[in-house]
Amino acid sequence: MAPSDNLEESLKSLSVSGKQSKVPTSSKPSAVAESWEDSADAASSSSDAPYAIRKNASLLSLSCGIARFTSKPKPVMAAGDKIDPRTWRRRPAPAARICAFCVSEWGTNATVALAPARVTWPCPPKTSKHTVSPACGGNAPRARHSQIALGSIERTSLPVKSILDKMHFSLSAVAIGLACTCNTVTAATKGVFAHYMVGSITADHANTDVSQAKNIGIDAFALNVGSLLPFATDASTGAIPLLFNAADNLGFKLFFSFDMYALGDTDPSQFLALVSQYQGRSSYYQVDGRPFVSTFNGATKTFGQADANSGWQNAFQNAQVTPYFVPDFDDFNGYPNGIVSAFPYPDGFFSWESAWPASSQGIANVSSDTDLAVISQTQPAGKFKDLDASQFYYRIGELNYGQRIQQLLSAAPDYVEIITWNDAGEGHYIGSFWPEQIGDSGIDKYTNGFDHSGWQQLVPSVIAALKNGAQDTSALFPGGPWDGKAAAGAMWYRPVLTTSSCASGQPSGYQNAQDLVNFAISLPSGASDYKIVVSSGGNVIATFPGQAGLNINSTGGLVAGSAPKVDVVDDLGNTVASATGNMDVAGNADLCNYNYVVTGF
């Protein structure tokens, strides 16, 4: 009997227990795929089936429940290649079984198929078989109570390099030609970035920004390039070279995010030359040896080709750059519907606009619907979704930051980008913005004295949770520079009431603002029966329970005349942390500035 027949019969007769997980697909790349599809449907109809078939375009893999694999495969597998165990996260394996894999001698055409350990069948013709130690002792991915699967590679129409290059996506990752671990393993985020607006800067300020970001655990700045003028590119004074110098010296990473709204019809050879110039620097962020490149918009840029997908692919080829391409294509018509099928070239997608509720939604909480819609497309296509977290001063979402943190943990994306580090012009910044960046734009009247660095206190614990695969906020304890502190986090409010009479008029979207005091506070392990006390105008306006992990909430009752205050009181009645705003709330003002006042604990 052929190997695929054995596989089909074995799967159909499989009797197992546990929760199953299934990812749909729109394609049937091979006979093996079709036989597995039948078994997957059968498994999904049983409430006690732990094995489910994850179908990923031409990639098939066996997983258990919500098992997620953390592989970093080589770009191309060749006959006789062995899996390097150093590319796999090691976990204890008290119940590991024998594991083996086959590598196709066809070299460029392969479909991955994995089966339960109890299923055995010979490698197909024209493949080589490798057995990795009787107990997979250190030479295969391992997990608690693991069941090891036997893998083989079958012929398909898609090139293996194309398959492998697309194997980075949000909720699970597929191993090629390797034994899988059958237990509940949470996907871990690989990188957390902060969007950085490129403008004029000094060497000292570049060093400060890089040092602060690294200190709180951020992996890289996504350099928003919207201009190729000397303030950005000059070798001795430009922001780009100065930031790369600082990153080289301090062990930090950077990559380019091309602002296609600002660059307009600029020939791609001009801005992609930056990637060519800097990709060899030790500080350039790489994935699988390829320079990470992103965008803001660009879904309509064809660059003289028949469509935008071909346009971007051709532009990179002409620049002799092989990128790990993760654009923000929010400007795609009908986004997010159809984005993946329209753009097979990118490795993943970043969504800027899903970080906040749209102004047209009125008073509404931030939603992850757009993210999940993109994830549902990227998973079958073997791509990933890069998610974002942000505050935004003229859009609703007083608790946006805290709510977005929970959504990120639930979605478990491969990459997360904080919007932003320094966009003073739009008010969503957690880092510094410098006078030389703002210049005479007039932005300073909205930003001077509005320090948002208090939000940084939450970043280390969020990054740790994402990279450890946490699924909720209960383990978000104070971390990084605030490790060991009684509390970490921030409180924030707007310094002018929504009922204020403003001589200069109200800003666009003002009707969505609310007179609230907001907080997000991380309490250490063991904290229980704490109280979070909110005061405004010298009076307590609300008291909330505080527990270990992240506590987020808001309350009305903000009044004019003084700055609000938030106290953290432990179970013995001691005030262990406090934050008081540095601006009084105004009932009326010449300028209705809806930027947040943010105060850390």
Whether pTM > 0.85 for this model: the answer is no
For the chain, 601 residues long, the average pLDDT of each consecutive 10-residue run is 34 28 30 27 29 24 24 34 32 30 31 31 38 33 28 27 23 16 44 92 97 98 94 89 98 97 95 98 96 95 97 98 92 79 87 52 45 42 39 49 79 83 85 86 85 95 91 93 97 92 78 89 96 98 98 96 98 98 94 90 97
What's phi and psi for 194, nearest 5 deg?
-130, 130
Radius of gyration of the chain (CA): 26
Q: How many CA atoms lie within 13 A of 111 on its CB side?
A: 24
Q: What is the pLDDT of residue 2?
A: 35
Q: Which residue has the tokens 């070798």?
A: 235
CA distance 465 to 127: 41
Q: What is the pLDDT of residue 353?
A: 56
Burial of residue 386 (CB within 10 Å: 0-12, 13-18, 19+) is buried
Q: What is the pLDDT of residue 309?
A: 96
Cα dist. 146→22, 171, 408 in Å? 20, 20, 27
In order of their start, the domains of the chain are 3-165 (no CATH), 191-448 (3.20.20.80), 488-600 (2.60.40)
Q: Which two tokens stand for residue 51?
A: 């094995």
Q: What is the pLDDT of residue 92?
A: 30
Burial of residue 376 (CB within 10 Å: 0-12, 13-18, 19+) is middle
Q: What is the pLDDT of residue 159?
A: 28
What's phi and psi for 82, nearest 5 deg?
-110, 150
- Coil, strand or helix at 72: coil
Cα dist. 451→183, 446, 514, 582 in Å? 45, 11, 20, 10
CA distance 441 to 231: 15
CA distance 120 to 235: 61
Q: Which two tokens stand for residue 523?
A: 């309490």
Query: Could you tell me whether strands 517-523 and 549-555 are parallel, antiparallel, or unpaired per DSSP bridges?
Result: antiparallel
Beta bridge partners of 423: 428
Whether 148 and 98 have beta carbons less than 8 Å apart is answered as yes
Q: Which two tokens stand for residue 125?
A: 């013709």
- Coil, strand or helix at 419: strand
Mind listing the pLDDT tens digit for each residue in 78-93? 333 333 333 322 223 3
Cα dist. 297→209, 263, 316, 334, 428 in Å? 25, 10, 16, 14, 18
Phi-psi region of 188 (alpha: psi -120 to 50; beta: other; left: phi over 0): beta
CA distance 215 to 21: 38
Q: What is the dihedral of CA 388, 392, 398, 399, to 10 degrees?
A: 10
- Coil, strand or helix at 473: helix
Alpha helices in 382-468 (DSSP H): 400-411, 435-438, 444-447, 459-467
* H or E segment to which residue 539 belongs: strand 539-546
Q: What is the pLDDT of residue 518?
A: 94
Apex CA 63: angle with CA 60 and CA 68, to 5°? 105
